[in-house]
Amino acid sequence: MRNAPTILHLDMDAFYASVEQASKPSLRGKAVIVGGLGPRGVVATASYEARIFGVHSAMPMAQARRLAPNAAYLVPRFRIYRDVSERVMGLLRELSPLVEPLSLDEAFVDLEAGGVAWDAESARLVGVKLRSDIRAATGLAGSVGLAASKMVAKIASEEAKPDGLVLIEPGTERGLLGPMSVRVLPGVGPATGDHLRRAGIHTVEEIAEAGEDELVRLLGKAHGHALYAMALAHDERPVVAEREAKSVSVEDTYDVDIHDRLRVGLEVQRLADRCVRRLRGAGLSGRTIVLKVRRYDFSTLTRSETLRGPTDDPAVVREAAARLLEGVDTTGGVRLLGVGVSGLADFTQEDLFAQAAGEVAAEADDLGGGGAVAEEALGTSGAAVEGDRDGDAVGEAQAQAQPQPAERRWHAGHDVRHAEYGHGWVQGSGVGRVTVRFETPESGPGRVRTFRVDDPELEVAEPLPLVAAETPVAPG
């Protein structure tokens, strides 16, 4: 390990919720919960005001509503989250060529590699300036941890929350970690934590005292050795600039269990197409097709098939996913479906037979093309294919149906613009009405107005920047 705290870990505070509060002046200082709003949605992020009520990430949305009934519940706006993330990551890359993003709102930075820090004092100054720069560029707060290793830097940033900075001097790590719960260490989840607790081990110091041999006996060779090293604050992992993707996948959770086998098949085909679009967008291909099915009783089945070579052909992925589905019993209903591709590569080996079959299928059009309505929001999905018809009836109905204008849908929290009242965001909709609050990041709390869902003067809008761009000063 290095002898200076020059590994920085940045974690943006309650990122999604903080972006929403920065965008919407009326929500600042109030409980905000972002996630899937359907009956089976989950919380993606809760603001600190919401956490007071016990709401936290990954909690079922129904439980969150019981704990915080008066909070603002919003559908995620991933485009603005990505835009803000890119600005933050750009600031990190100005510090060092070695930036390792973990997610949209979290990253490690090797300050020593960038030549901007070499001891505790210089590292602290970099951390202070970074937090200031992030607030100036985005209006948001980020917490910073500084240490000589990635593990301790991440723990330090957790200790710094919210909106703080914690620096751990090399040599003091064990004193910090000792009294902490074993769950603070990477790789110690609920199951491992319970196993250690039953052995009388509750803290990091007790892991160190138990000794390596006892941990290997309890947890196995690999996990035991790794956990003992972490308890001694030994972590030699470098900051890696590019984290190679291991798989690409998409999945949907359904508000109502799907019982109709044809409908399940159509959903799998739709998910396969979405997965391939994401795969191609990343310039990748893959050899192994994976199908995930969560049934009505919460049991989850995963099936996979490995092809002769990597592919990014939607027909190949659809056919493989369909074959995998044939081996899965969906009697009783399905609550979640997912399709993924692993064994990634940056080249393809075309399957000519599947490609030919895909060309024939394309002429008949994709059966799922007009039969399902998917939501990109976390944990929500719906579908409009009727489940009480046989396959022939569904195909005939689709062939004879006349094109219908799509019903306008207004997602809570998303941006809109009205011809008269300007920019605003959707507070809610239902019974043919949509309620909009008209405000911008630079305004005060705005007025609320209600319109018909088909009001021609109301339209979907792009998110506004959280911080207004500075107006250049004209030369005198």
Tell me: the pLDDT tens digits for 363-375? 333 333 333 333 3
Residue 376 pLDDT exceeds 90: no
Instruction: Compute how many other C-beta atoms are within 10 angstroms of the C-beta atom of residue 233.
Output: 25
Helix (H, G, I), strand (E, B) or coil at 166: strand
Q: How many CA atoms lie within 13 A of 444 on its CB side?
A: 1
Sign of CA pseudo-dihedral 146, 150, 156, 157: positive
pLDDT-based confidence at residue 223 (cuts at 50, 70, 90): confident
Whether the Cβ atoms of residue 268 and residue 290 lie closer than 8 Å to each other: no
- The torsion angles phi and psi of 361, rounded to 5 degrees, stand at -65, -35
Say what the pLDDT of residue 37 is: 86
Residue 299 pLDDT exceeds 90: no
| Burial class for 366, CB neighbours closer than 10 Å (0-12, 13-18, 19+) | middle
Residue 274 pLDDT exceeds 80: yes
Tell me: the pLDDT tens digits for 399-438? 344 444 555 789 999 999 999 999 999 999 989 999 999 9
Residues pairing with 373 in the sheet: 382
Using CA atoms of 99, 441, 64, 141 in order, give the dihedral in degrees to the nearest 10.
Answer: 40
* 122, 211, 224, 225, 303 from 217: Cα distances, Å: 43, 10, 8, 10, 32
Helix (H, G, I), strand (E, B) or coil at 432: coil
Say what the pLDDT of residue 361 is: 43
Tell me: the pLDDT tens digits for 171-203? 999 998 999 999 998 878 888 888 899 999 999
Better-scored residue on pLDDT, 13 or 383: 13
Tell me: the pLDDT tens digits for 109-142? 999 999 999 999 999 999 999 999 999 999 999 9
Say what the pLDDT of residue 407 is: 58
Please tell me the distance from the alpha carbon of residue 182 to that of residue 386, in angstroms, as a whole number: 50
Better-scored residue on pLDDT, 357 or 323: 323
Kindly report the average pLDDT of the chain as a whole number. 85
pLDDT-based confidence at residue 283 (cuts at 50, 70, 90): confident
| Burial class for 343, CB neighbours closer than 10 Å (0-12, 13-18, 19+) | middle
Residues pairing with 452 in the sheet: 433
Say what the pLDDT of residue 222 is: 85
Please tell me the distance from the alpha carbon of residue 62 to that of residue 380, in angstroms, as a whole number: 13
Tell me: the pLDDT tens digits for 53-102? 999 998 999 999 999 999 999 999 999 999 999 999 999 999 999 999 98
Expressed in angstroms, the distance from the first to the final Cα of the chain is 54
Nearest to 415 by CA among 436, 384, 401: 436
At 194, list the tokens.
Answer: 């319970």
Say what the pLDDT of residue 397 is: 38
Residue numbers annotated as active site: 106
Q: What percent of the chain has pLDDT over 90?
A: 63
